[in-house]
Amino acid sequence: MVTENPKWVPLSAEEVKDLVAKLAGDGMSPAKIGLVLRDQYAVPDVRLAAGKNMKDILAEKGVKFELPEDLQALMKRAVMMSTHVGKNPKDFHNLRGRHLLESKIRRLVKYYKREGVIPESWTYALDTAALQVE
């Protein structure tokens, strides 16, 4: 297991933190930021390069996302499945998959409300999910 930043990484810790904040300000998700840092800037691990994980860096720089990334991804999948089931009403396999996916979303929302990540008044609905995800 690697415990320290490789010597060949060209950026300092402050440069990595500033770059993370800049890319987040441009609208990139944390996963996309990690890919860009790895592929374009030769930073294999943000935590090793900056001394903090990406969530802490974004909180320190004051960048906050409306919804957690995993919840957005699940909502996007639910919207895509809903449009598929709308076009193919007899596809019961995917209808069941959408029901299971929406159940997972509701459990995740309950967890995020309990942890204070999203407001207590926020609720999941497929109609509003289509508007919230890209």
pLDDT at 86: 95
Q: Match 């010597």 to its residue by tokens.
A: 7
pLDDT at 82: 95
What CATH number does domain 69-132 carry, 1.20.1060.10, 1.10.287.10, 3.40.50.2300, 1.10.760.10?
A: 1.10.287.10
pLDDT digits (tens, 9 = 90+) for 23-79: 998 988 899 999 999 999 999 999 999 988 988 998 888 888 888 989 999 999 999
pLDDT at 92: 97
User: Do 134 and 77 meet the contact criterion of CB atoms below 8 Å apart?
Assistant: no
pLDDT digits (tens, 9 = 90+) for 79-114: 999 999 999 999 999 999 999 999 999 999 999 999
> How many Cα atoms occupy the beta-carbon half-sphere of 16 within 13 Å?
25
Average pLDDT of the residues of the chain: 91
> How many Cα atoms occupy the beta-carbon half-sphere of 68 within 13 Å?
17
pLDDT at 62: 85
d(CA 75, CA 134): 10
Q: So where are the chain's domains?
A: 13-61, 69-132
The H or E element that residue 49 is part of is helix 46-50
